[in-house]
């Protein structure tokens, strides 16, 4: 296989052994555990159990951090709590043999005024950017020492100007990598792609799903995403590809669709 294909943790089967069984059935290379599911949190899942499953079945693991993670928060105690959550996740991942920790970059909240939307982090952009820089300057060396790659995912926000500027700055840091979520990109009308392509060499991870004009996380080939070109990009950039549909049934259909294009 020209690159690694993987699957996400599913809400219908959050237990590790069920996920491993499905991964083996589909002959995939990795599973992306998800800290949004309590069963996948470091407090609940024994890292040595994950490491054992990896060795026994030849399956790699990545991890998705909580969606509410906000390393740019303007509230010091909130920001420190989120940084500590990543420190903990990195320590756990090192013990578990996890290869990648996938993260979001929060745009924060906005105020809706009569004539416009005002993002709080844009209003205080200098402090927001400094907070992100400080957090990643601390976490990236820790990730490197733990043998874990940090990868930051577009979530319909890389086209927001202050987020795009933050990504441009963070890409100056060694080890700052990107996850290209192609379904999110399509849902944005491909507005996120400009930022991603400025830093295409940083894209080490891909979330592959389709967008049908109404919703994403659809089976590849059923919407508007050029799946073949996305797979070609992943092949050329040696990026892991997570087939990110959300049920076992749609995942089986998705794997079949993707393999028909390889």
Tens digit of pLDDT for each residue in 188-198? 999 999 999 99
Task: Categorize the per-residue pLDDT at 178 as very low, low, confident or very high, splitting at 50, 70 and 90.
Answer: very high
Say how many domains are in the chain: 1
pLDDT, tens only, 84-135: 999 999 999 999 999 999 999 999 999 999 999 999 999 999 999 999 999 9
CATH of the domain at 245: 3.20.20.150
Structure tokens at 68: 């509410």
Evaluate whether 107 touches 71 at the Cβ level (below 8 Å): no
Residue 159 in this model has a pLDDT that exceeds 90? yes
Number of alpha carbons in the 13 Å side-chain half-sphere of residue 124: 15
Evaluate whether 34 touches 64 at the Cβ level (below 8 Å): yes
Task: Categorize the per-residue pLDDT at 26 as very low, low, confident or very high, splitting at 50, 70 and 90.
Answer: very high
User: 175 φ, ψ to 5°?
Assistant: 90, -5
**Residue 73 to residue 105: CA distance in whole angstroms:** 11
Domain holding 231, by residue range, is 5-259
Closest CA to 199 of 183, 182, 178, 181: 178
Q: What is the pTM of this model?
A: 0.96
Average pLDDT over residues 179-186: 98
Residue 1 in this model has a pLDDT that exceeds 80? no
- What was the pLDDT predicted at 138? 98
Residues 114-126: b if buried by 16+ CB within 10 A, e if exposed: eeeeebebbebbe
């Amino acid at each position: 296989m020209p690159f690694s294909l993987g699957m996400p943790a599913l809400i219908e089967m959050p237990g590790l052994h069920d996920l491993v069984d499905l991964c083996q059935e589909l002959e995939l290379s990795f599973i992306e555990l998800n800290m949004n599911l309590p069963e996948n949190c470091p407090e609940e899942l024994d890292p040595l159990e994950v490491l054992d499953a990896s060795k026994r079945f030849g399956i790699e693991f990545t991890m998705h951090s909580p969606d509410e993670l906000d390393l740019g928060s303007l509230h010091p105690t909130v920001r420190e709590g989120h940084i500590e959550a990543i420190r903990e996740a990195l320590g756990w991942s090192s013990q578990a043999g996890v290869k990648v920790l996938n993260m979001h970059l929060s745009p924060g909240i906005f105020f809706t005024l009569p004539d416009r939307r005002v993002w709080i982090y844009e209003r205080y952009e200098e402090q927001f950017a400094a907070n992100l820089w400080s957090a990643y300057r601390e976490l990236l060396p820790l990730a490197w020492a733990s043998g874990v790659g940090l990868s930051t995912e577009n979530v319909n926000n890389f086209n927001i100007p202050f987020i795009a500027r933050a990504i441009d700055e963070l890409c100056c840091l060694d080890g700052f990598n990107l996850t290209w979520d192609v379904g999110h990109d399509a849902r944005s009308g491909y507005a996120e792609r400009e930022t991603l392509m400025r830093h295409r060499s940083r894209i080490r991870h891909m979330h592959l799903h389709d967008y049908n004009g109404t919703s994403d996380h659809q089976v590849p080939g059923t919407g508007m995403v050029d799946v073949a070109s996305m797979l070609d990009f992943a092949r050329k950039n040696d990026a892991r590809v997570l087939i990110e549909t959300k049920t076992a049934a749609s995942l089986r259909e998705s794997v079949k669709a993707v393999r028909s294009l390889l």
